[in-house]
């Protein structure tokens, strides 16, 4: 009888009426500068994106326009150009970032100066690609490889004359940061990515400096690794930007290959 009484008391407690909270949520305008960008060993123009945080869920960031942006490496100085105008996207001249060199990002925006530094490390070769058949489609098989932290960007495209919409391509990122995080081990499961034969897969493997690894780890802890049974306490992501800015300025080495699924 006592057990039944406790059970009904517990049931009444968890099914008690709830009252809506009508108090307005107070928010403050955040003027912190958000910096996104990476230099690679590819001989091309690289992008640095500047913006401000947005206040509403699923909102769009406001571009930080009219900034003076430079990247320095030793005696070399690259001045970036905002293209297109008022976009907040700043493009470098064509050049290739080299391993072990220290690159410094300098930003002057609305009278405030910001700095960041990073240096790339070598990237290990891509392991042979693996995929397996699932009924009449295929699925990527990815696993940790090598000894250095990295991440691999998989771009998949199975567009045909009869299939040319967004549903005919996909992207998958696989992070191998060489860390031991319980929230990564017990992260929420993802829906399997299935694709047909004749799919073209472009893999791009990026090296990760120690500071870049800490940034990616903090981002993953707030995104892909959140929702499991061992979530960590929420906090701001790490950054290599000076005070007043957030995000990350990365320098990385990349290797790539292309495979057609048969």
- Taking only the tens place, the pLDDT of each residue in 160-196 is 877 766 689 999 999 999 987 777 766 777 888 999 9
CATH number of 33-119: 2.60.40.10
Rounded to whole angstroms, the Cα distance separating 187 from 147 reads 22
Residue 15 has pLDDT above 70, yes or no: no
pLDDT in tens, 71-123: 999 999 999 999 999 999 999 999 999 999 999 999 999 999 999 999 999 99
Are the C-beta atoms of 212 and 248 separated by less than 8 Å? Answer: yes
Domain extents for the chain? Answer: 33-119, 131-238+252-260
Are the C-beta atoms of 230 and 186 separated by less than 8 Å? Answer: yes
What percent of the chain shows pLDDT beyond 70?
Answer: 83
Residue 11 has pLDDT above 60, yes or no: no
- How confident is the model at residue 163, as a pLDDT? 78
For the chain, the average pLDDT equals: 87
CA dist 193 to 155, 161, 172, 174, 223, Å?
12, 22, 8, 13, 19
Lowest mean pLDDT among 51-65, 215-229, 247-261: 215-229
């Amino acid at each position: 009888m006592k057990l039944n009484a406790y059970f009904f008391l517990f049931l009444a407690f968890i099914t008690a009426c709830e009252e809506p909270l009508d108090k307005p949520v107070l928010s403050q305008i955040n003027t912190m500068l958000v910096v996104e960008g990476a230099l690679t060993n590819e001989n091309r123009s690289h992008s640095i994106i500047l913006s401000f945080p947005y206040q509403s869920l699923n909102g769009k960031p406001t571009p930080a326009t009219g900034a003076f942006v430079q990247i320095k490496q030793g005696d070399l100085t690259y001045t970036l150009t905002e293209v297109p105008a008022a976009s907040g996207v700043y493009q470098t001249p064509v050049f290739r970032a080299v391993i072990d060199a220290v690159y410094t990002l300098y930003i002057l925006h609305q009278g405030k100066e910001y700095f960041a530094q990073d240096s790339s490390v070598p990237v290990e070769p891509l392991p042979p690609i693996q995929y397996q058949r699932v009924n009449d489609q295929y699925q990527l098989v990815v696993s940790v490889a090598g000894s250095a932290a990295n991440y691999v960007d998989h771009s998949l495209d199975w567009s045909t004359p009869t299939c040319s919409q967004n549903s005919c391509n996909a992207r998958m990122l696989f992070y191998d940061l060489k860390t031991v995080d319980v929230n990564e081990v017990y992260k929420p499961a993802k829906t399997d990515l299935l694709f047909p034969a004749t799919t073209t897969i472009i893999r791009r493997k990026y090296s990760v400096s120690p500071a870049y690894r800490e940034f990616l780890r903090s981002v993953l802890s707030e995104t892909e690794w959140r929702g499991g049974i061992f979530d960590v306490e929420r906090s701001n992501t790490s950054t290599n930007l000076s005070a007043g800015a957030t995000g990350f300025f990365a320098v990385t080495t990349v290797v790539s290959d292309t495979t057609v699924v048969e």
